[in-house]
Structure 1
Amino acid sequence: MAWIILIVSGAFEAVWATALGKSEGFSKLTPTLVFFGALVVSMGGLAYAMRDLPTGTSYAVWVGIGATLTVVYAMATGAEAVSLVKAICIMAIVGGVIGLKLAH
């Protein structure tokens, strides 16, 4: 159960990171509210998962999922250019997250 919560909270990290960028320094209300809501869910899930999982592994997986989803979303929406180098780097992050899960 801790792994599922960690994965979901990592996805919410991508939500708050994207909303933070769209809030334009907290000057836009809707993205700002999404940011704070997703931040609470994301951090709460990370904290809950860390009750059963090691801190280093939990944090690395959480960041890896959040970073990967944030970049993939940005590329899918056209906010960021797609490139082979970025795709390879994303696959490396995903491989590292999977490796941490398998090593646990």
Structure 2
Amino acid sequence: MLTEQEILNIANSEIKRIENDSKIETVLINELIIKKPYGNIFFYTSKKYYETRNEKYAVAGNAPFLVEKETGNIVVFGTAHTEDYYIEEYEAGRWPNNRGLD
């Protein structure tokens, strides 16, 4: 089982990977982290949007992701529904293998 710090380190590594792919500086939104017994769910946005709240710096497609406490695996949720939907689907064992629905 991973510690909170190890989970956070994995999340920060994922953010760096996203930055490298998108070429947009991003930040985790610490006040939105959802802690569950099976892991933590993280949200992120562009650093400029987080600092300014100016819509021109908002990013699309920044789906929340779960870092599993047991394995350290990253499970990316979608953006078509609320985070509650994805949490319920994950907890029911239907996400990420949910017949192509997102």
TM-score, structure 2 as length reference: 0.30
**Greater Cα radius of gyration, structure 1 or 2:** 1
Structure holding more strand per residue: 2
Q: Kindly indicate whether structure 1 or structure 2 has the higher relative contact order, using CA contacts under 8 Å at least 6 residues apart.
A: 1
